């Protein structure tokens, strides 16, 4: 089997055609909101109600969208590879659950999940699809006022980094899909893969910020490019 262990990193571009805004593109979320106000711990401490409202709005938007052909194709690739004794790691920077809803068996959410709430005081984590408010109590420790979205903000450390580097270092193909290559540490995965001698490819609408770091590239819509690549991989694998 070629590329028995595939590591896939996804970003906002994989969910764009499902109707979720990307971050840095024109009209993206960050052209409309100040990053430091809604996606940093300082912003949250200064104005928790505003930050919770921003994520309530995003959570509601996420609930109304469906996975697209790219999510579905990646779910199929992961399933087929597992059946044939290989492994596909899907590591996403996205806080939506469209990979899971598109059929992925397991997903590493390095920037958290918007459909979960976390207690700022005790770290208690629970699925939560309603609106968060500053006067909510924590089901675990009972304290009030610390319930926040389970989303990694700027200045905070991404999640599952040990697991990620382990999967990355044992992969024999690294594929980056729909990410601008601007936010570290995810933007550094391609260099880590290259340093380990692993072939790298990006699939993106246009060359990303670190396009020159990839061995191969396919440019176009994720909903078209990803299913085409997956079909080729499955055909080659036989
Ligand atoms: P991004 O918006 O920076 O980049 C999206 C990329 O997708 C772009 O390169 C764009 O060309 C491409 N793209 C757009 N539509 C596409 C399509 N249909 N098909 C294929 N590609 C398409 O998003 P990113 O790279 O995911 O950003 C990095 C991460 O930074 C985000 O995922 C997010 O987790 C994080 N971030 C988080 C916050 C927060 O709320 N905590 C704030 C800002 C950024
Ligand atoms: Zn708590």
Q: Does residue 92 have a known ligand-binding role? A: no
Q: Average of pLDDT values for 100-126?
A: 96
**71 included as an active-site residue:** no
In DSSP notation, 127-160 reads: E--S---TTPBPTTT--BS-EEEEEPPBTSPPS-
pLDDT in tens, 173-194: 999 999 999 999 999 999 999 9
Mean pLDDT of 153-168: 96
Q: Which domains does the chain have, with CATH numbers?
A: 1-18+67-111+158-238 (3.40.50.1220), 21-64+117-151 (3.30.1600.10)
Residue 33 pLDDT grade (very low, low, confident, very high; cuts 50, 70, 90): confident
Question: Is the Cβ atom of 16 under 6 angstroms away from ligand 1?
Answer: yes
What are 118's strand-pairing partners?
125, 148
CA pair distance 97, 99, nearest whole angstrom: 6
Residue 1: predicted pLDDT: 65
Neighbouring C-beta atoms of residue 118, cutoff 10 Å: 20
Is 47 assigned a ligand-binding role in the annotation?
A: no
Ligand 1 neighbourhood includes 183 CB (under 6 angstroms): yes
CA distance 150 to 130: 13
153 pLDDT higher than 90? yes
Which protein residue's CA is at the shortest distance from atom 11 of ligand 1?
Answer: 205
Q: Is the CB of 28 under 6 A from ligand 1?
A: yes
Using a pLDDT cut of 90, give the percent of the chain over it.
85
Q: What is the pLDDT of residues 47-93, one digit of tens each?
A: 999 999 999 999 999 888 999 999 999 999 999 999 999 999 999 99
Q: Which of 62, 99, 109, 111 is catalytic?
A: 111
User: Three-state SS for 154?
Assistant: strand
pLDDT value at 96 more than 70: yes
Determine whether the shortest distance from the Cβ of 232 to ligand 1 is under 6 A. no
Which range has the worst mean pLDDT, 19-33, 65-79, 217-231?
19-33
Does residue 190 have a known ligand-binding role?
no
Q: What is the pLDDT of residue 9?
A: 98
Q: What is the mean pLDDT of the chain?
A: 94
End-to-end alpha-carbon separation of the chain, Å? 8
Specify the pTM.
0.94
Q: Is the pLDDT of residue 199 over 90?
A: yes
pLDDT band at 35 (very low <50, low <70, confident <90, very high): confident
Q: Which ligand is nearest to the CA of 51?
A: 1
Question: Contact, 217 vs 205, CB < 8 A?
Answer: no
Residue 31's Cβ-count burial label (10 Å; 0-12, 13-18, 19+) is: exposed
203: CA distance to ligand 1 center in Å? 13
Task: Determine contact, residues 8/88, Cβ cutoff 8 Å.
Answer: yes
Give the residues across from 217 on adjacent strands.
202
Confidence check: pLDDT of 214 > 70 = yes
* The pLDDT of residue 21 is above 90: no
Averaged pLDDT for residues 30-58: 90
Please give the average per-residue pLDDT across 138-166, as a whole number.
95
């Amino acid at each position: 089997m070629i590329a028995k262990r595939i590591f896939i990193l996804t970003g906002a571009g994989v969910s764009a055609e499902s109707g979720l805004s990307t971050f840095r593109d024109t009209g993206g979320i960050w052209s409309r909101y100040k990053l430091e106000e809604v996606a940093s711990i300082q912003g949250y401490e200064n104005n928790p109600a505003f930050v919770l409202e921003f994520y309530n709005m995003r959570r509601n938007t996420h609930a109304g969208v469906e996975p697209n052909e790219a999510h579905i194709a990646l779910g199929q690739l992961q399933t087929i590879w597992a059946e044939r004794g290989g492994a596909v790691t899907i590591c996403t920077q996205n806080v939506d659950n469209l990979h899971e809803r598109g059929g992925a068996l397991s997903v590493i959410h390095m920037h958290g999940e918007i459909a979960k709430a976390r207690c700022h005081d005790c770290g208690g984590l629970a699925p939560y699809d309603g609106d968060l408010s500053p006067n909510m109590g924590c089901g675990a420790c009972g304290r009030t006022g610390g319930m926040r979205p389970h989303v990694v903000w700027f200045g905070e450390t991404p999640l599952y980094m040990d697991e990620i580097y382990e999967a990355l270092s044992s992969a024999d193909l690294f594929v980056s899909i729909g990410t601008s290559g601007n936010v570290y540490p995810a933007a550094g995965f391609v260099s880590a893969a290259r340093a380990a001698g692993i072939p790298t490819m990006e699939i993106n609408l246009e060359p990303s910020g670190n396009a020159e770091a990839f061995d191969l590239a396919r440019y176009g819509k994720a909903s078209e490019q990803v299913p085409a690549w997956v079909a080729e991989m499955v055909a080659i694998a036989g």
